[in-house]
Structures are given as structure tokens and as C-alpha cells.
Homo-oligomer: A and B are copies of this chain.
Amino acid sequence: MTNRIRVGIVGYGNLGRGVELAIAQNPDMQLDAIFTRRDPATISSSTKAYSIEEAANFVNDIDVMILCGGSATDLPEQGPQFAKMFNVVDSFDTHARIPEYFDAVNGAAVESGKLAVISTGWDPGLFSMNRLLFESILPEGNGYTFWGKGVSQGHSDAIRRVAGVKHGVQYTIPVETAVQKVRNGENPEFTTREKHLRECYVVAEEGADQAKIRDEIVSMPNYFADYDTVVHFISEEELKQNHSAMPHGGLVLRSGKTGTDSTQIMEFGLKLDSNPEFTSSVLVAYARAAYKLYKEGQVGAKTVFDIPLGYLSPKSAAELRKELL
């Protein structure tokens, strides 16, 4: 294949490794370089790794840079910085800070004449797209988002900060009867407790007071106090063996009324063995879109709301109409 899209990765954690694997599934793209803040010699990949400071030397060699850093501290800095040099795609996921992040990245991309796609992935990302699609089609109705069953990094971190806890993993689980009520068109209103359960697998330090740990977890404000929380104490071996994967998923639903009191239910769902690998696959599809938009002369920051779905595919518009419409 000629003229493959030349991709770079910034940040080589779970997400960066996922992007590397996803690019290998897309014959119209190639991974040319990995940029890291660590010593590049420590990166174990068949693709050459460079110090992040060297990225500026690659402005003519990389078509799209996929930013795989975290939303708390990496992306607020790297997003605008890389958009000054490259077309970029990221999965910035701090919902409340998206407007200011959009403005910062947009300013940089407009100035450089590059194209940036922010906040892809699945929430924000695919879930957001469905929230928008659903409410546009069914303006009279109620929308619902359920997360899980899946590992929440934030809640797992919270468990691990409790005194006496050595390791811990937290699963967010939708309440099945709540989902069923929505699917039945009952238009329920839920308390926080009625929508999700929290299940914790904890490895306690030797001699720690398990009752005290359990109590501290289930009563933790913001994280657990408003939920029904189950705490299981397990061995370190069991944790490693059964709880090292990063599954996740969830549902976006809308229950609306049309015309003569007809109930109309729309639903989008994901069931993911690997949350980071899936997010990476979304990033790679949007990297293709970023490249196509840039080639058309578009500049500035875009979100999943601004990009026609056809841009995600390697197929031509005529092929898509023939094969998929």
C-alpha cells in the first residue's frame, strides 16, 4: 500500500501499547516512532523510541501524533504543545474541563494550521455520540448511562490509599433491575445507589484489621458512601490471577415518546475485555479521520460531534454507500 498514514505515539503506557497493536490491524497506517519521557532505551517495542524532546524533529515525518498520556497532568500540557507541531488525537476524559481544553488545543491548532481531535475513546467519545444522537431523535424522553461491569482506576486507587490495604481492585457494576426498568420504558428516576453497585477485591497487609478496612471503604465519601459496596478480602496470588485484566463497558439508553404515546427505546452498549485496547482502537480510527480532514484543508480542534462517520473508515464514500448503507 502506498502512502500509508504515518503515526507517532506520545506516551507508552497501556494506551500507547494498545495503539501500537491497533495500528497493526489497519493496513493503511504505519507506526513510525514512539516518544517517551522515560529513557527510550527502556522501551521494549519493534518501533524505535525517542525522548519526547526529540518530537519536534519529526514534523515532516509524522502525519498524526496520538497522545496517550493521562488527562490529569499530561494532556493539558501536551495537547496544546503538540497541536502546535502536529495533527493530534487524544482521549482527554475529564468531562468538566473539556471546554477549556478544547479552547487551548483549538488555539494551538488554528495557529499551526493543524487538525486536532480531542476526547475520543468511549466515554467521552462513543457514549457521547450516542447521547447526542438519541436526544436529537427523541427530544421528549430520558437518557441514561450505566458503566460496567468494569474496573474503575479511580476507585481502585482510593481503596489502595486506605491504611492496611496492600492491593485492591474495584469493579463498577450496573444494577440489572435498573437497566431492565429503562428497557421496559418505565422512565425511572434513580438514586446513585439504585444504578450501580461497587465490588472491591482487597489484599490486606498482614495483621491488618479487616473489619476496620471494610468500614473505611464502604463509608468513604464520594467514592463509596452513596453506593452499596461489597468488599472481598483475597490473597495477593488470587488478585494477580483473577483481577489483573482491565475489562469495562457500559450502556447508553434513551427512552422516548413519539406521536401517539409510542415508547421508543434506543440503546448502545459495549462489553470490553480490555478497556485500554478498545480506547486505543477508537483513537486509531480517529487518527485516520484527523489525517483525512487535514488533507482537505481543515484546521483547529474537533470532537466526535464534528466528524462525519465516513472519515473513520479506509473505504471510499461510494464503497461505504454500496456495502454498508
Say which residue of B25, B95, B285, B288 sits within 8 Å of A140 (CB atoms): B25
Of B136, B280, B310, the residue contacting A132 (CB under 8 A) is B310
What residues of B have a CB within 8 angstroms of the CB of A213 in the complex?
A: none
Q: Are A312 and B265 in contact (CB under 8 A)?
A: no
Q: Using known A-B contacts A259-B21, A310-B305, determine if residue A132 contacts B320 with beta carbons closer than 8 Å.
A: yes
Interface residue ranges of A26-59 to B (CB < 8 Å): 26
Rounded to whole Å, the gap between the CB of A192 and the closest CB of chain B is 20
For residue A120, give the distance in angstroms from its CB to the closest CB of chain B.
10
Q: Are B268 and A325 in contact (CB-based, < 8 A)?
A: no
CB-CB under 8 A from A313, the residues of chain B are 132, 135-136
Chain A 216-253: CB-based contact to B (< 8 A → 1; otherwise 0):
00000000000000000000000000000000010000
- Output the nearest chain B residue to A284 by Cβ-Cβ distance: B137
Find out whether the CB atom of A259 lies under 8 angstroms from the CB atom of B274. yes
Q: Does A124 contact B (CB under 8 A)?
A: yes
Tell me whether B271 and A183 are in contact (CB under 8 A). yes
Question: Contact partner of A258 among B22, B140, B266, CB < 8 A?
Answer: B22
Q: Mark A304-325, 1 if CB is under 8 A from B, else 0.
A: 1111111011000110111011
19 A-B pairs with CB atoms under 8 Å apart are: A21-B259, A99-B321, A99-B322, A133-B312, A259-B274, A259-B280, A260-B277, A262-B277, A264-B270, A264-B271, A264-B273, A265-B269, A265-B271, A265-B272, A266-B269, A268-B269, A303-B325, A304-B309, A304-B325
Query: Which B-chain residue is minimally distant from A273 (CB atoms)?
Result: B262
- Most chain B C-beta atoms within 10 Å of own C-beta, residue among A26, A131, A137, A285: A137
0/1 per residue, A114-127, Cβ < 8 Å to B?
Answer: 00000100001010
Q: Which residues of B contact A282 (CB under 8 A)?
A: 137
